[in-house]
Amino acid sequence: MGMYDMICGDQVKCFYRYFEFKDEIWTTSGDLRRFRIGDKVPYRTSWYNYTKNFNIINLWDTLLEDGCADVHMLIGVRNGKVNFVKPLAQANETDWKNIQRCIDYRGEWLRIFSQAEALDYAEAKEKYEQMKVDYMRNKMPYREKTMDLLYGIAVVDEEEKRMRLTELASLEDAKKREYEEFVVFDENARKELIDKFERNVKPERVLKKEEEGAAKNMEQKKRKREQSKQNM
């Protein structure tokens, strides 16, 4: 699952930060913080800027494993503080007034500035995800076969393991072609349904600024660590 934060019980991963581990740069998607109505949120850092007035669209799978429908949520931040959290279907155009940005729960910018656009996006996203599930279920037999062969492979005897590994190796070319066909399908589905909401929303200058901000932040942390070592 990874790290995250909570806003009135709703999980978000948009307030991420960078850290260094074994000389590599990693990100954590939150710090298990809990924000309530009226609480300030970290809406701006040197590597992201959601502005003081933004909405978060939190889309969930339409149907859970127990058969109960989940609810898409809309979170509103105004003047840097949590202003409201409500089911997206219960929101209205007033909830979109004077916002400067709309993001998803991971912090990706969305091209959405009205309730009508938000509902269209939720519907398109649900359709897109269902199309992917149907495609994988009905048109990717080698993927399914691979999963079956890998299931429990760590606990079978050596002869069974060798047989499975041999069969897995024989499926590699077909599985590769199958995946390449899926990529084409996925790109076309995205273009048809959700690219107008998600694709190329963030300008190149912003992407560059975020990269520079993250690099600067990591350099500052590195200098602090070196100074601490020198003072020990």
Task: Kindly give the pairing relationship between strand 54-58 and strand 73-78.
Answer: antiparallel
Residues 6+ apart with CB under 8 A from 110: 57, 102, 103, 104, 121, 197, 198, 201
Give the pLDDT confidence score for residue 62 in this predicted structure: 47
Give the pLDDT confidence score for residue 68 in this predicted structure: 46
Could you report the per-residue pLDDT of 75-99, keeping only the tens digit for each?
Answer: 999 999 999 999 999 999 999 999 9
Quote the pTM value: 0.85
Could you report the per-residue pLDDT of 26-57, keeping only the tens digit for each?
Answer: 889 999 999 999 999 999 999 999 999 999 99
Cβ-in-10-Å burial (0-12, 13-18, 19+) of 225 comes to exposed
Could you report the per-residue pLDDT of 175-217, keeping only the tens digit for each?
Answer: 999 999 999 999 999 999 999 999 999 999 999 998 898 888 8
Could you report the per-residue pLDDT of 66-77, keeping only the tens digit for each?
Answer: 444 568 999 999
Mean pLDDT of 134-148: 96
Task: Name the least confident of 55-69, 72-86, 133-147, 159-173.
Answer: 55-69
227 is written with which tokens?
Answer: 């100074």
Give the pLDDT confidence score for residue 232 in this predicted structure: 66
> Is 41:81 a contact under the CB 8 Å cutoff?
yes
What does the alpha-carbon distance between residue 50 and residue 36 come to, in Å, rounded to a whole number?
Answer: 18
Give the pLDDT confidence score for residue 66 in this predicted structure: 45
